[in-house]
Structure 1
Amino acid sequence: MAAHPSSTTRALSALALIAGMAASPVTAQSIAQSPNAAEAAPTDDVGEITVTARRREESLLTTPVSATVLSGRNLVQQNIRNFQDLRGAVSNLELVPLLSGGTSFTIRGIGQTFNQVNSDTKAGFYVDEMYVSRQEGNDLHFYDVASLQVLKGPQGTLFGKNTTAGAVLLTTQRPTDRFEGYAQVRAGSFRRIDTEGALNVPLTDGIYARASFRTQSVRGYIKHVLDDDRSGNVNSQSGRLQLRVDKGGPLTIDLLGEYNRSKTDGGATIPVGCLSTAGYIQNYDALHAVPYCTAYPVLGKDYTVYGGATLLAPTSAAVTDIARGGDAGGISRYAGRGPFNDTDATTLNGRLGYDLGGGIALHSITAYRRSHAQFYTPVNNAPNDIYAEYDDTRSTQFTQELTIGGTILDDRLTFLAGAFYFQQKTDFLQDTGPDWIDPLGYVYDASLKYRSYAAFAQASYKITPKLEATLGGRYTYDRKTGSSYVFFAGRENTFLYNGVPTQCGYFSGDFLGGIANCGGAPFTARDTDHWDGFDPKLQLSYRWSDTVFTYLTAAHGYNSGGFNQQLGGPSADGRFPSSYDPEKLWSYEAGVKLDLLDRRAVINLSGFYQKYTDIQASVNVLVGNVSTRQVQSAASAHEAGFEGEFVLRPVRDLTVRGNVSYLTQGYDSIRPNAVTLTLDTPVNSAPKYTYSAAVAYDLHVGGGLVTPSVDVRGVGKKPACQSGADYVCRLPAYALVGFRLDYSPDADGRWRIGVYGTNVLDKVTQQARTGYFGGFGIDRYTPGRPREFGVESSLRF
Structure 2
Amino acid sequence: MAMVLGGAATAARAEAQAPVQVAAADTTAAGEIGEITVTARRREESLLTTPVSATVLSGDNLVQQSIRNFQDLRGAVSNLELVPLLSGGTSFTIRGIGQTFNQVNSDTKAGFYVDEMYVSRQEGNDLYFYDIASLQVLKGPQGTLFGKNTTAGAILLTTQRPTDDFGGYAQVRGGSYDRIDTEGALNVPLSDGIAARASFRTQSVKGYIKHLLDDDRSGNINNQSGRLQFRVDRGPLTIDVLGEYNRSSTDGGATIPVGCLPTAGYIRNYDALHATPYCTAFPVLGKDYTVYGGATLLAPTSAAVTDRARGGDAGLGRYAGKRPFNDTDATTLNGRISYDLSDDIALHSVTAYRRSHAKFYTPVSYAPNDIYAEYDDTRSTQFTQELTIGGTVLDDRLTFLAGLFYFNQKTDFLQDTGPDWIDPLGYVYDSSLKYRSYAAFAQASYKVTPKLELTLGGRYTYDKKQGESYVFFAGRTNTFLSNGVPTQCGYFTGDFLGGIANCGGAPFTATGRDHWDGFDPKAQLSYRWSDQVFTYVSAAHGYNSGGFNQQLGSQPADRRFPSSYDPEKLWSYEGGIKLDLFDRRAVINLSGFYQKYTDIQATVNVLIGNISTRQVQSAASAHEAGFEGEFVLRPVTDLTLRGNVSYLTQGYDNIRPNAVTLTKDTPVNSAPKYTYSAAASYDFHVGADGRLTPTVDVRGVGKKPACQSGADYVCRLPAYALVGFRLDYQPQVDGAWRIGVYGTNVFDKVTQLARTGYFGGFGIDRFTPGRPQEFGAEASYRF
What interval of TM-score do these two structures reach, taking the shorter chain for normalisation?
over 0.9
Alignment counterpart, residue 144 of structure 2, candidates 134, 157, 161: 157
Report the Cα offset of residue 433 of structure 1: 3.2
Residue 54 of structure 2 corresponds to residue 67 of structure 1 = yes
Question: How is 1:584-603 mapped onto 2 (pairs within 5 angstroms)?
Answer: 584-603=569-588
What amino acid does structure 2 have at the position aligned with 1:295? Answer: A
Verify: 1:166 aligned to 2:146, yes or no.
Answer: no
Is 2:522 the partner of 1:537?
Answer: yes
Cα deviation, 1:696-734, whole Å, max 9, x if unaligned, reads 111001121101001110000000001121021100000
Q: Aligned AA for 2:629?
A: G
Name 1:708's counterpart in structure 2.
694
Q: How does 1:718-757 map to 2 (within 5 A)?
A: 718-757=704-743
Summarize deviations over 1:556-600 as a string: whole Å, max 9, x none: 000000000011110110110000000000000000011111222
Q: Which residue of 2 aligns with 1:239?
A: 226
Amino acid at match of 1:218: V
Corresponding residue for residue 139 of structure 1: 126
Q: Work out whether 1:222 is the aligned partner of 2:209.
A: yes
Query: 1:765-797 CA distances to partner (integer Å, 9 max, x unpaired)?
Result: 000000000100000000000000001111001
Counterpart amino acid of 2:431?
Answer: A
Structure 1, 450-459 or 313-322: larger mean CA deviation: 313-322
Q: 1:52 to 1:525 in 2, by over 3 A?
A: farther
Alignment of 1:637-716 (within 5 A): 637-703=622-688, 704-716=690-702
CA contact (8 A) 2:21 2:39 kept: no
Contact 2:21–2:40 under 8 Å retained in 1 = no
Report the TM-score when normalising by structure 1: 0.94
SS at match of 1:139: helix
Aligned residues of 1:53 and 1:65 also touching (Cα < 8 A): no
**What residue is the counterpart of 1:508 in the other structure?**
493
**SS of structure 2 residue aligned to 1:84:** helix
How much identity, in percent, do the aligned residues show?
Answer: 87
Compared with structure 1, are the counterparts of its residues 527 and 53 closer, same or farther at alpha carbon in structure 2 (3 Å cutoff)? farther
The answer to whether residue 599 in structure 2 is matched with residue 614 in structure 1 is: yes
Secondary structure at the aligned position of 1:37 is classed as strand
Unaligned 5+ residue runs, structure 1? Answer: 1-27
2:523 aligned partner, one-letter code: L
Instruction: Tell me if structure 2 keeps the 8 A contact 1:316–1:327.
Output: no
Q: Cα deviation per residue 1:736-764 (whole Å; 9 max; x = unaligned)?
A: 00000011111221101110000001000
Residue equivalent to 1:577: 562
Determine if the alignment matches structure 1 residue 95 to structure 2 residue 74. no
Q: Deviations over 1:308-366 (max 9, x none)?
A: 1243337697221110111223x421112110000011111100000000411000000
Q: Which amino acid aligns with 2:72?
A: D
Partner of 2:268: 282
Query: In structure 2, what is the equivalent of residue 389 of structure 1?
Result: 374
The equivalent residue for 2:69 is 82
* Separation (CA, whole Å) in 1 of partners of 2:402 and 2:187: 34
Of the candidates 503, 512, 520, which is equivalent to residue 505 of structure 2? 520
- Aligned residue number for residue 121 of structure 1: 108
Conservation of the 8 A alpha-carbon contact between 1:754 and 1:791: yes
Q: Kindly indicate whether the alpha-carbon contact (under 8 Å) linking 1:315 and 1:325 is maintained by their aligned counterparts in 2.
A: no
Contact 2:304/2:424, CA 8 A, preserved across alignment: no
Q: Residue 675 of structure 1 aligns to a residue in which SS? A: coil
Say yes or no: does 1:183 pair with 2:170. Answer: yes
**Contact 2:758–2:764 (CA under 8 A) maintained in structure 1:** yes
Whichever residue aligns with residue 134 of structure 1, its letter is R
Give the Cα–Cα distance (whole angstroms) in 1 for the partners of residues 80 and 39 of structure 2.
19
RMSD: 1.6
Structure 2 unpaired stretches of 5+:
1-6, 9-18
1:446 and 1:378 map into 2 onto residues whose CA distance is 22
Secondary structure, counterpart of 2:126 in structure 1: coil
Cα distance between partner residues in 2 of 1:95 and 1:358:
41
Instruction: Give the secondary-structure state (helix, strand or coil) at the position aligned to 1:140.
Output: helix
Pair 50,103 (structure 1): closer, same or farther in 2 beyond 3 Å: farther
Do the aligned partners of 1:121 and 1:162 also contact (CA within 8 Å) in 2? Answer: no
Is 1:436 aligned to 2:421, yes or no? yes
Q: Using the alignment, how far apart are the partners of 1:606 and 1:148 within structure 2?
A: 20
1:250 pairs with one of 222, 236, 259: 236
Bigger mean CA deviation after superposition, 593-602 or 275-284: 593-602
> Of 421, 440, 446, which residue of structure 1 is paired with 2:406?
421
**Aligned equivalent of 1:465:** 450
Counterparts of 1:663 and 1:174, CA distance in 2: 37
Is contact 1:316-1:440 (8 Å) kept? no
8 Å CA contact retained: 2:25, 2:34: no
Q: In structure 2, do the counterparts of structure 1 residues 535 and 276 end up closer, same or farther at CA, with 3 Å as the change threshold?
A: same
Change (3 A) 1:303 1:56: farther
> Does the alignment pair 1:319 with 2:344?
no
- Tell me how far apart the structure 2 counterparts of residues 769 and 50 of structure 1 sit (CA, whole Å): 41
Letter of the 1:72 partner, please give it: G
1:303 deviates by: 0.1
TM-score norm. by structure 2 comes to 0.96
**Contact in 2 for aligned 1:405/1:415 (Cα 8 Å):** yes
Return the alpha-carbon distance in structure 2 between the equivalents of residues 500 and 559 of structure 1: 56
Change (3 A) 1:500 1:479: same
CA distance in 2, matches of 1:332, 1:760: 44
Number of the residue aligned with 1:7: none
Contact persistence 1:386–1:434 (CA under 8 A): no
**Counterpart code for 2:184:** G
What is the letter of the counterpart of residue 427 of structure 1? D
- Residue 746 of structure 2 corresponds to residue 760 of structure 1: yes
In the TM superposition, what is the alpha-carbon distance from 1:289 to its structure 2 partner? 1.0
Instruction: Please tell me whether the aligned partners of residues 315 and 435 of structure 1 are also in contact (alpha carbons under 8 angstroms).
Output: yes
The answer on 1:291 being equivalent to 2:277 is yes
The question of whether the paired residues in 2 share the 8 Å contact of 1:310 and 1:339 is answered with no
Q: In structure 2, which of residues 352, 357, 360 is the aligned counterpart of residue 372 of structure 1?
A: 357
CA distance in 1: counterparts of 2:714 and 2:440, whole angstroms: 43
Counterparts of 2:419 and 2:217 in 1: how far apart (Å)?
20
Match of 1:228, as an amino acid? D
Distance 1:695 1:787, change over 3 A: same
Q: Per chain length, whose mean CA-contact separation is higher, i.e. which structure has more relative contact order (CA < 8 Å, sep 6+)? A: 1
For residues 58 and 243 of structure 1, the distance between their equivalents in structure 2, rounded to whole angstroms, comes to 27
Pairing partner for 1:402 from 372, 375, 387 = 387
Residues 125 and 52 of structure 1: CA distance in aligned 2, closer, same or farther (over 3 Å)? farther
Equivalent-residue separation in structure 1 for 2:272 and 2:546 (angstroms):
42
Distance 1:769 1:240 in 2: 35
